[in-house]
């Protein structure tokens, strides 16, 4: 076998129909994949074919459509679980990553966290990994604590050890990759130290799974949540959990499909993973997510990660050429994903995004659902550019040009 | 000239009128736009049922800051009964630009805090 030659960039633009659009007379440049990613036709076609050909409910129908739907749905689960190296029966379909974290906070949290206990999260969490824990603490009397974020946008394992050493932490909620700063956190090490201290770890992987290889067997956290819509798939989420914990937990939502037997006064529960999948699933979305991870797997997540790193590196070189710009997050692209937050003196991020849109460059502006982190950074909001396999260096150039024009409009 | 970021909008954004605090004041309110985190507060001094003086304070985009600044000049001297009746159209007329649905709350944040201060109603103006 000859050596495999990789090109440094993955250019999959042709697979994404939306990128053929022009907006305001300019070809679309989509730089908001950290919010939600565009979909390749390979995913759209699989979902279209399912709806046109095989749609039926799962685990109910004895007819052909029901069989096909069940086979495709459970097949998607198996491939998705294998993609992140976790058992399929411990991989639960949820509405999104937010619901996955809420599932843990309710079904595990209410049984295992009480007054005097501590819930530890970090200052760089998305609201979806803050608010469920606030609700839990309000109800149980537990205390919510935060690990601080350094000036370079990173967590300190020493601070983690010191808080764990006090012996009251029952659960740690931590993001794998920050949706604002791009910081890649050492979640394997955090999970290891947490377990040694008797705490359970819940990782928010919403930004990680779409853009880098994620091996849950190696990370070995107790719970890991992510969502399909940032991974080139439709909006359906995943929760991967440790079997012994999932087995002991009470259900999250009650209803059809999650039961074994329903009596007048009480019920017994279905097996894993269906115990946590009440009601009719988003079936086509699950199958679409299966197609999305097939697509990503075919590119290879190592290459996706390399592509993200190259683009982040190029953006970190180019963006400082814009006068008055400030960049946030780790300096080294080895410690950050393809997410670049920035502000420009004299211009609010909302206005930056509005003026970039005139040039058909889509960037996010706002607090990115991370208001505590915004306060740490000392800003109310930032603009943010983020990348995926359909972006190329030219897109960063278009952003830099758009920012230059925006400054002209503001007469800066 | 840009259709949204007109000269006077940028001028009010860069040099907002009636911005700061007033102490003592009779009425105050503070609110934010949950979408983007923009914040705006107001202090009002009332005399004979009229807005004798006011100051806005906070941080936000050009549209929210310019809207507060431009309307502040109209609001000073206005009877509170009239302030309570102001609606979204009034603000947008004052701004004199087309406001897209995505920027509507930016434009209305100033009126929202005025309404809060004068009526206690924390809902968005319509």
Q: Give the pLDDT confidence of B72-99 residue by residue, as tens digits.
A: 999 999 999 999 999 999 999 999 999 9
Q: Which two tokens stand for residue A317?
A: 């070189």
Is the Cβ pair A367, B60 closer than 8 Å? no
Instruction: Spell out which residues of chain A touch residue B61, defining contact as CB-CB under 8 Å.
Output: 348-351
Q: What is the mean pLDDT of residues A390-409?
A: 97
pLDDT of B34: 82
Kindly report the average pLDDT of chain A as a whole number: 95
Q: What is the pLDDT of residues A275-332, one digit of tens each?
A: 999 999 999 999 999 999 999 999 999 999 999 999 999 999 999 999 999 999 998 9
Q: How far is residue A396's CA from residue A406's CA, in Å, rounded to a whole number?
A: 15
Instruction: Spell out which residues of chain B touch residue A354, defining contact as CB-CB under 8 Å.
Output: 4, 103
Q: What is the pLDDT of residues A82-141, one digit of tens each?
A: 999 999 999 999 999 999 999 999 999 999 999 999 999 999 999 999 999 999 999 999
pLDDT of A62: 87
Q: How far is residue A309's CA from residue A338's CA, in Å, rounded to a whole number?
A: 6
Domain span at B95: 7-119
User: Who among B5, B10, B59 is closest to A380 (CB)?
Assistant: B59
- Neighbouring CB atoms inside 10 A of A92's CB total 24
pLDDT of A135: 98
pLDDT of A2: 47
Q: What is the mean pLDDT of residues A30-36?
A: 98
- Overall domain count for chain B: 1
In Å, what is the CA distance from A149 to each residue of A125, A131, A153, A174, A237?
A: 10, 18, 5, 12, 27
Cut 0.90: pTM above it: yes
Does B59 touch chain A if contact means CB atoms closer than 8 Å?
Answer: yes
Strand partners, A366: A382
| Residue A1, pLDDT above cutoff 60 | no
One of 3.90.1150.10, 1.10.3720.10, 3.30.1130.10, 3.40.50.740 is the CATH number of A13-38+301-409, namely: 3.90.1150.10
* Host H or E run for residue B67: helix B62-75
Residue spans per domain, chain A:
13-38+301-409, 45-297
> Is-same-fold flag (A13-38+301-409; A45-297)?
no
Q: Residue written as tokens 């103006």?
A: B125
With respect to residue B2, please indicate whether it lies within any of the assigned structural domains: no
Q: Which residues contact residue B34 at a Cβ distance below 8 angstroms, ignoring those fewer than 6 apart? A: none
Q: Which two tokens stand for residue A412?
A: 């800066």
Least confident residue range of A21-25, A56-60, B24-28: A56-60
With respect to residue B79, please indicate whether it lies within any of the assigned structural domains: yes
Nearest to A381 by CA among A363, A394, A393: A363
Does B10 touch chain A if contact means CB atoms closer than 8 Å?
Answer: yes
The Cα of A319 is separated from the nearest Cα of chain B by a number of Å equal to 21
Q: Residue written as tokens 């991967």?
A: A240
* B76 burial via Cβ count (<10 Å: 0-12, 13-18, 19+): middle
Kindly report the average pLDDT of chain B as a whole number: 94
Nearest to A200 by CA among A208, A191, A209: A191
A143: Cα separation from own chain's centroid? 26
pLDDT band with cut points at 50, 70 and 90 for residue A49: very high
CATH topology of domain A45-297: 3.40.640
Is the Cβ pair A371, B39 closer than 8 Å? no
User: Who among B35, B39, B62 is closest to A351 (CB)?
Assistant: B62
With respect to residue B125, please indicate whether it lies within any of the assigned structural domains: no
pLDDT of B35: 78
Q: What is the mean pLDDT of residues B41-62?
A: 96
The Cα of A178 is separated from the nearest Cα of chain B by a number of Å equal to 18
pLDDT of A8: 60
Q: Which two tokens stand for residue A217?
A: 């067997």
With respect to residue B126, please indicate whether it lies within any of the assigned structural domains: no
User: Who among B2, B39, B61 is closest to A350 (CB)?
Assistant: B61
Q: What is the DSSP letter of B87?
A: -
Q: What is the pLDDT of residues A356-390, one digit of tens each?
A: 999 999 999 999 999 999 989 888 899 999 999 99
| Residue A406, pLDDT above cutoff 60 | yes
Does A354 touch chain B if contact means CB atoms closer than 8 Å?
Answer: yes
pLDDT of A7: 53
| Residue A3, pLDDT above cutoff 60 | no
Does A355 touch chain B if contact means CB atoms closer than 8 Å?
Answer: yes
Q: What is the mean pLDDT of residues A238-262?
A: 96
Catalytic residue flag (residue A369): yes
pLDDT of A6: 46
pLDDT of A404: 98
pLDDT of B36: 77
Q: How far is residue A110's CA from residue A103's CA, in Å, rounded to a whole number?
A: 10
The Cα of A366 is separated from the nearest Cα of chain B by a number of Å equal to 4
| Residue A4, pLDDT above cutoff 60 | no
Nearest to A280 by CA among A66, A108, A43, A87: A66
Does B37 touch chain A if contact means CB atoms closer than 8 Å?
Answer: yes
The Cα of A382 is separated from the nearest Cα of chain B by a number of Å equal to 10
With respect to residue B71, please indicate whether it lies within any of the assigned structural domains: yes
pLDDT of A68: 96
Phi, psi torsion values for A78, nearest 5 degrees: -65, -40
């Amino acid at each position: 076998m000859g050596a495999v030659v990789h090109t440094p960039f993955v250019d999959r633009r042709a697979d994404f129909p939306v990128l053929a659009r022009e907006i305001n007379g300019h070809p679309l440049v989509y730089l908001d994949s950290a919010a939600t990613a565009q979909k390749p036709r390979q995913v759209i076609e699989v979902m279209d074919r399912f709806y046109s050909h095989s749609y039926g409910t799962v685990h109910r129908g004895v007819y052909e459509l029901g069989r096909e739907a069940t086979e495709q749905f459970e097949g998607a689960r198996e491939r998705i679980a294998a993609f992140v190296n976790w058992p399929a029966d411990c991989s639960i379909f949820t509405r999104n990553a937010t619901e996955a974290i809420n599932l843990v906070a309710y079904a595990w949290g209410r049984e295992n966290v009480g007054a005097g206990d501590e819930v530890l999260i970090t200052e760089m969490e998305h609201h979806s990994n803050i608010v469920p824990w606030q609700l839990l603490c309000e109800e149980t009397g537990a205390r919510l604590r935060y690990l601080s974020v350094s000036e370079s946008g990173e967590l300190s394992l020493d601070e983690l050890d010191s808080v764990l050493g006090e012996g009251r932490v029952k659960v740690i909620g931590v993001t794998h990759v920050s949706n604002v700063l791009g910081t890649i956190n050492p979640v394997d090490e955090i999970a290891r130290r947490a377990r040694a201290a008797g705490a359970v770890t819940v990782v928010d992987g919403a930004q990680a799974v779409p853009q880098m290889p994620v091996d849950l067997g190696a990370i070995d956290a107790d719970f890991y949540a992510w969502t399909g819509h940032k991974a080139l798939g439709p909006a359906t989420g995943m929760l991967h959990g440790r079997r012994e914990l999932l087995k002991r937990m009470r259900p999250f939502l009650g209803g059809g499909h999650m039961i074994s037997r329903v009596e007048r006064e009480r019920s017994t529960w279905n097996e894993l993973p269906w115990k946590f999948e009440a009601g009719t699933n988003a079936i086509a979305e699950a199958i679409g997510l299966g197609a999305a991870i097939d697509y990503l797997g075919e590119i290879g997540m190592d290459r996706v990660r390399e592509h993200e790193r190259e683009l982040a590196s190029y953006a970190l070189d180019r963006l400082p050429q814009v006068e008055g710009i400030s960049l946030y997050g780790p300096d080294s692209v080895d410690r950050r994903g393809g997410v670049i937050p920035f502000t420009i003196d004299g211009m609010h991020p909302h206005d930056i995004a509005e003026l970039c849109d005139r040039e058909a460059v889509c960037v996010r502006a706002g607090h990115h659902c991370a208001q505590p982190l915004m306060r740490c950074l000392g800003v109310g909001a930032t603009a943010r550019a983020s990348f995926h396999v359909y972006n190329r260096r030219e897109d960063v150039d278009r952003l830099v040009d758009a920012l230059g024009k925006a400054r002209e409009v503001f007469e800066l | 000239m840009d259709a949204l970021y007109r000269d006077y909008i940028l001028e009010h954004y860069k040099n907002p009128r009636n911005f700061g605090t007033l102490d003592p004041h009779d009425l105050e309110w503070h609110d934010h736009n949950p979408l983007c985190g923009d914040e705006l507060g107001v202090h009002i001094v009332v005399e004979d049922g009229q807005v004798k003086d006011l100051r806005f304070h906070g941080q936000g985009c050009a549209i929210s800051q310019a809207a507060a600044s431009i309307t502040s000049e109209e609001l000073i001297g206005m009877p509170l009964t009239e302030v309570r009746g102001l609606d979204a159209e009034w603000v947008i007329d004052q701004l004199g630009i087309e406001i897209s649905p995505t920027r509507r709350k930016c434009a209305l944040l100033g009126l929202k805090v005025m309404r809060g201060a004068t009526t206690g109603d924390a809902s968005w103006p319509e």
